Amino acid sequence: MRLLFVCTGNICRSPLGEAIFRRQAEQAGRGGEFEVDSAGTHDYHVGEQADPRARGVGEDHGVPVTSIARRVEDSDFEAFDLILAMDRGHRRDLRARCPEPLRDRIRLMREFDEPAGELDVPDPYYSNRQAFVRVYEMLDRCCRNLLQDLTQ
């Protein structure tokens, strides 16, 4: 199964989601069942590493964040089985670009959070390192539930 994690510039939330899910799948002995990538709805940071705060929080948890930012391409809608938008704005942008028959592949990351409630993963970019820690913890929960959902 191919999963794509999507945020705005692909340097904070989506690379963390990609790295966390990959690590959890590997730890569960299911890494070979998934191809995982991340991308941004915009091209602000194409070619750059993830934000140093995202990489640092990942390292603190033993999760290397190694992705290089890229923008979502039209071919991604067909190439990926599941596209995980970090917030409703991303979902709206993705659905507008996605061919209608493939739109059910686009889901919100927080649909896999517990307890269900707020739908958006907040953007930590303009905040402090503690905001990145909170986003990491949120994505860790979401990825755990997502992995469980996909492997049942």
Catalytic site positions: 7, 13, 123
Tell me 152's DSSP state: -
Tokens at 147, concatenated? 């992995």
Look at phi and psi of residue 29 and say left if phi exceeds 0, alpha if psi is from -120 to 50, else beta: left
Rounded CA-CA distance 152/98 in Å is 28
Task: Please list, residue by residue across 17-46, b when 16 or more beta carbons sit within 10 angstroms of its beta carbon and e when fewer do.
Answer: bbbbbbbbbeeeeeeeebebbbbbbeeebe
Question: Could you give the CA distance from residue 2 to residue 143 in angstroms, rounded to a whole number?
Answer: 14
